[in-house]
Every structure is written in C-alpha cells, then in structure tokens.
Amino acid sequence: MSHDASVLFNRLLARGKFRHVQILLKVAELGSLQRAADSIGMTQSSVTQGLAYLERLLEVQLFERHARGARPTQACEDLLPVARRMLIGVADGAEVVTARRQRIGGAIRLVASVGAMNGLLLNVLPRFAQRHPDVTVHLSEAEGDDQLLAIARGEADLVACRRPPVIPEGWQFMPVREDRFAVLARADHPLARKRSLGWPQLADETWLLAPTGSAARERFDELTANLPHPIRTYPVVTRSTAMLWWLSQQENLLSFLPLNFVRPLLDAGLLRELKLRPLYMLEPLGLMFPIAGPFGAWRQLVDFMNPEVPH
C-alpha cells in the first residue's frame, strides 16, 4: 500500500461511517439526493451533508450535480464495487451475529454453483436443518472465479461446486455425487419413448443451447461437429432452468446439460432424459472446505454430506 493510500486508509478508519457507504450507493443507484434520502429514511439535507463529508474525507468529487439530480464521476464509478462489497460484508456480519445470538449452533457461509444447488443442496439442506436446527446456513450463489474470490476474501466457509481444475491452497475437495451430461426434452417429446438413441437420430432436432464458454456448450459443439449438416438451434441461449422448462413445453426442443443441473425438473417429471449412448461423464459435485484452522459449524455440514459417513 502506498503512503498516500495508507494515509487515506487510516483516515477512513478513524472518521468514516457505514452510513456514508449507504448514501454513496443509494445516490448512485437512484441519481437523486431526494430519492436516496427517502429510500433510507433520511432528510435530503442529511444526505447532502453526508455526501459532502465523504467527498472531503476522500478529497475527490463523487457526483456531478445537475438540474435533474446527481451523476457519478469516474472516481465514484471506480469506488462503487468496493462500496457494495463493504455493505454486503456489514449485512453478512449482522446475520452472523444474529444467528449466534438466536442459535447456539452458529452459522455457515455456504457459496454454491447453480448445479450444486440443484443437484446437491435442494435435497441436503432441508434434512440438515431438521438434524441441526440450531445452525443457520447463509447460502449464496456464485460460479467459477467468483467462488475462488469468495475463498480468497474469507467470505466463504464452504463452497459447493464441481471439482475444479485447481483447488485453492489450504482447501480440499470432497466428492459427493457423480454427474454426467444428458440430452433433455419435455416428458411427452416424441423421442422420449425411444429405448436407445445415437447422435445421427438427433441431428435433425432443434436445440436450445447453453451459453458459449460453458462446459456443456463446449462438449456439445465437439459432439456435433462431425454431423452431416449443421444443427438447428432455437434463437434463445440460456442456462435458466425456468426458461428451459417453459420453452420445452412450447416447442419440440432438446437440450444438452449436466444431469444434476436440471435434477429438480427431472424429479418433478417436467423433463425427461433421452436414452443417448454412450454416456458422457463430468467431474463430480461436492464440497470444498479448509484443511486446517478453526472448525466451526461448517464441519457439521461436511460430515453430514460425506458419503462415507453413515447417517
């Protein structure tokens, strides 16, 4: 940290307030001092004074005032992501303290991918809550690099995900459920009754694609590259399970996705896996957790999800 940054850091510690962060974010969001004041239960003059104090503290202009309100400066735009993380941290801290006061079992900060939520946690967390009603689980969604950032920032006790290519230092991965790719359709799709299918039989179907860069899309592109002609695609690209289900009810569409990603729709009978052979396996879903350090309430969830521990 440079000398100037150190001086500013110490000044913020001594004279800054969380309310200043809230004012900054609300004015940037709403573009109006009056609307920001109304949204957080303050007077406009108090918001104006708080914003002016913050600008003096930082020695930088944060907003350009104009007839219709306030516009963030570039300095303010640079500061907004940091301010959001600060306020989220305050909210998380309040949740943790409240959980500790109300439940003697403590709290778990669990970060999970959508696939892990659908394939693991929907089934596990209700049963864990019955077994450990004194433990509060704070569940948030994140994918890939955002999971690693949560670990690096100390914002996660556990991460539910697919086994990553590289596991962060000081952490380990426990596999819980195997996974594979699947071809999916609505339950009454004409191909749903077929006992066995190969790619030549799927070449003329219309496909709802996963986004470019996803593991499902990369594998799908590899598998369909050598078909006799380009596949037909639906003009929507999405990973949304709600949109997948809805569009599949309206059209004869097929999708290629991880099986556990759509587990709730399969269990409810809203989608069906087509009997495509061969099967295409994926890295398993599981939990990442610290190897050492203080073992908090999160250890109970690890033990609860450990497939080698009898329950």
Can you say how many angstroms the Cα of residue 216 is from the centroid of all Cα atoms in its chain? Answer: 18
CATH code (residue 228)? 3.40.190.290
Q: What are phi and psi of 62, to 5 degrees?
A: -100, -30
Do residues 192 and 214 share a domain?
Answer: yes
Domain membership of residue 259 (yes or no) is yes
Tell me: the pLDDT tens digits for 79-97? 888 888 888 888 877 776 7
CA distance 117 to 115: 5
Do residues 292 and 143 share a domain?
Answer: yes
Do residues 193 and 276 share a domain?
Answer: yes
Do residues 165 and 214 share a domain?
Answer: no
Q: How far is CA 194 from CA 4, 144, 276, in A?
A: 70, 36, 9
Do residues 189 and 255 share a domain?
Answer: yes
Q: Please give the residue range of the domain that contains residue 233.
A: 179-282
Do residues 190 and 276 share a domain?
Answer: yes
* Three-class DSSP category at 214: coil
CATH code (residue 40)? 1.10.10.10
pTM of the model: 0.69
**Number of Cβ within a 10 Å radius of residue 56:** 10
Domain membership of residue 288 (yes or no) is yes
Work out the angle at residue 185's Cα, subtended by the Cα atoms of residues 184 and 187, and round it to the nearest 5 degrees: 120
Asked if 288 and 161 count as a contact pair (C-beta separation under 8 A), the reply is: yes
Tell me: the pLDDT tens digits for 171-219? 999 999 999 999 999 999 989 888 888 888 898 899 999 999 889 999 9
Q: Which of 92, 95, 77, 86 is nearest to 13 (CA)?
A: 86
Domain membership of residue 191 (yes or no) is yes
Domain end among 94, 126, 158: 94
Domain membership of residue 311 (yes or no) is no
What does pLDDT average to over the chain?
A: 88
Domain membership of residue 49 (yes or no) is yes
Do residues 173 and 289 share a domain?
Answer: yes
CATH code (residue 147)? 3.40.190.10
Cα-Cα-Cα-Cα dihedral of 162, 165, 168, 169, to 10°?
130
State yes or no: pLDDT of 98 exceeds 80.
Answer: no
How would you class 86 by CB atoms within 10 Å of its CB: exposed for 0-12, middle for 13-18, buried for 19 or more? middle
At 17 the pLDDT is 84
Can you say how many angstroms the Cα of residue 213 is from the centroid of all Cα atoms in its chain? Answer: 17
Do residues 168 and 81 share a domain?
Answer: no
At 104 the pLDDT is 61
DSSP states of 250-311 as a string? HS-EEEEEEGGGGHHHHHTTSEEE--BSS-EEEEEEEEEEESSS---THHHHHHHH-TTS--
Do residues 271 and 203 share a domain?
Answer: yes
Domain membership of residue 310 (yes or no) is no
Asked if 279 and 198 count as a contact pair (C-beta separation under 8 A), the reply is: no
Do residues 81 and 170 share a domain?
Answer: no
Domain membership of residue 272 (yes or no) is yes
Tell me: the pLDDT tens digits for 8-59? 777 777 887 888 888 989 999 998 889 988 998 999 888 889 888 888 888 8
Do residues 278 and 183 share a domain?
Answer: yes
At 101 the pLDDT is 63
Domain count, the chain: 3
Do residues 151 and 271 share a domain?
Answer: no
Domain membership of residue 159 (yes or no) is yes
